Amino acid sequence: MNAYNSFVAICYSFIQYVPNPEDRYYFGEYLLYLLYINFGLNIVMLGFEIAGIIRMHCRRKFYHRKLKNERENKITDANN
């Protein structure tokens, strides 16, 4: 929905609804900057999400490794 609204806003800014070409160019440039900012923020948020997923995966893997080592130590202690 957001992409559709942005597309419609850009289309309206570049067609003849704004009679002065300089104003049309200004509004179009402004909307393009807003799209760039929106795109950049979405990429940053995606990066944080991916980093969080990788972090949780590593924590889970290290936790299971720790449990495995503790179980092995208990078995070897019980055998001695």
Contact in structure between 25 and 50 (CB atoms under 8 Å) = no
34-49: pLDDT as tens digits: 888 989 999 999 999 9
> What is the structure's pLDDT at 49?
96
> What is the structure's pLDDT at 2?
65
Residues with Cβ within 8 Å of residue 24, at least 6 apart in sequence: 13, 14, 18
The Cα–Cα gap between 22 and 74 comes to 78
pTM > 0.75: no
Angle subtended at Cα 68 by Cα 66 and Cα 72, rounded to the nearest 5 degrees: 115
The Cα–Cα gap between 31 and 6 comes to 8
